[in-house]
């Protein structure tokens, strides 16, 4: 008879879809944890490469600025160091540190300047006292460098000489070497 206590009991059929339980021997959540770990590693690798590239670019920018400053110091020294007896050589040395366009513009004034130096028996010895980058554009390879110079200037009217301080804003352009493209004396 049905319902006899001696009958084996059966579980009623489940309602809804039947799902399998966890597979024995395989911990739950291993696959999602592995995916998260792989994504974290890939993200770390991408971040490391990006920061590495930025560090290399920053090093290149620092080196470019330092080279521009060094070249600007040389130009400022050439501008403030001259002697009436070596005026042509001094002028040539200055023009060799200039871009072709700027050198071309200066060459037209070269003869009257040399003549004036000789008439006045002018002599100057400049020493750079400070220099720094005002702006730098690695894309165009240009830098504005402020250079301060103290020069001992003498001539036939002032044979004992007089110290003079100059501040120059030099536009430097990298064309193989760093060359001056413009000079502005600032107050």
Please give the pLDDT value at position 51: 75
Range of the domain at 54: 39-186
Does residue 141 lie in a domain region? Answer: yes
Please give the pLDDT value at position 25: 58
Please give the pLDDT value at position 144: 96
Q: Record the pTM.
A: 0.69
Q: How many C-beta atoms lie closer than 10 Å to residue 99's C-beta?
A: 16
Answer with the residue of higher pLDDT: 114 or 32. Answer: 114
Please give the pLDDT value at position 46: 81
Does residue 120 lie in a domain region? Answer: yes
Q: What CATH number should be reported for the domain holding residue 92?
A: 3.10.450.50
Collapsed DSSP state (helix, strand, coil) of residue 12: coil
Does residue 168 lie in a domain region? Answer: yes
Does residue 31 lie in a domain region? Answer: no
The full length of the chain comes to 187
Handedness of CA 103, 80, 177, 146 (dihedral sign): negative
Residue 152 has pLDDT above 90, yes or no: yes
Please give the pLDDT value at position 10: 65
Does residue 130 lie in a domain region? Answer: yes
Residue 164 has pLDDT above 90, yes or no: yes
Does residue 76 lie in a domain region? Answer: yes
In the chain, what percentage of residues exceed pLDDT 90? 54
pLDDT, mean of residues 70-89: 94
Are 77 and 148 in contact by the 8 Å Cβ rule? The answer is no
Structural domains in the chain (count)? 1
Does residue 9 lie in a domain region? Answer: no
CB contact set of 145 (below 8 Å; sequence gap of 6+): 68, 69, 72, 131, 132, 133, 134, 169, 170, 172
Does residue 165 lie in a domain region? Answer: yes
């Amino acid at each position: 008879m049905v319902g006899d206590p001696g009958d084996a009991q059966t579980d009623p059929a489940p309602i809804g879809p039947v799902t399998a339980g966890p597979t024995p021997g395989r911990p739950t959540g291993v696959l999602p944890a592995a995916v998260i770990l792989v994504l974290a590693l890939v993200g770390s690798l991408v971040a490391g490469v990006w920061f590495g590239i930025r560090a290399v670019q920053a090093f290149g920018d620092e080196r470019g600025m330092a080279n521009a400053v060094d070249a600007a110091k040389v130009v400022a020294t050439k501008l403030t160091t001259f002697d009436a007896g070596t005026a042509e050589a001094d002028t040539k040395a200055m023009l060799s540190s200039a871009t072709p366009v700027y050198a071309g513009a200066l060459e037209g004034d070269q003869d009257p300047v040399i003549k004036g130096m000789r008439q006045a028996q002018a002599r100057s010895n400049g020493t750079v006292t400070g220099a720094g980058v005002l702006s730098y554009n690695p894309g165009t390879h240009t830098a504005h460098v402020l250079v301060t110079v103290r020069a001992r200037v003498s001539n036939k009217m002032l044979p004992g000489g007089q110290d003079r301080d100059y501040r120059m804003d030099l536009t430097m352009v990298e064309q193989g070497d760093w060359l001056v493209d413009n000079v502005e004396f600032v107050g």
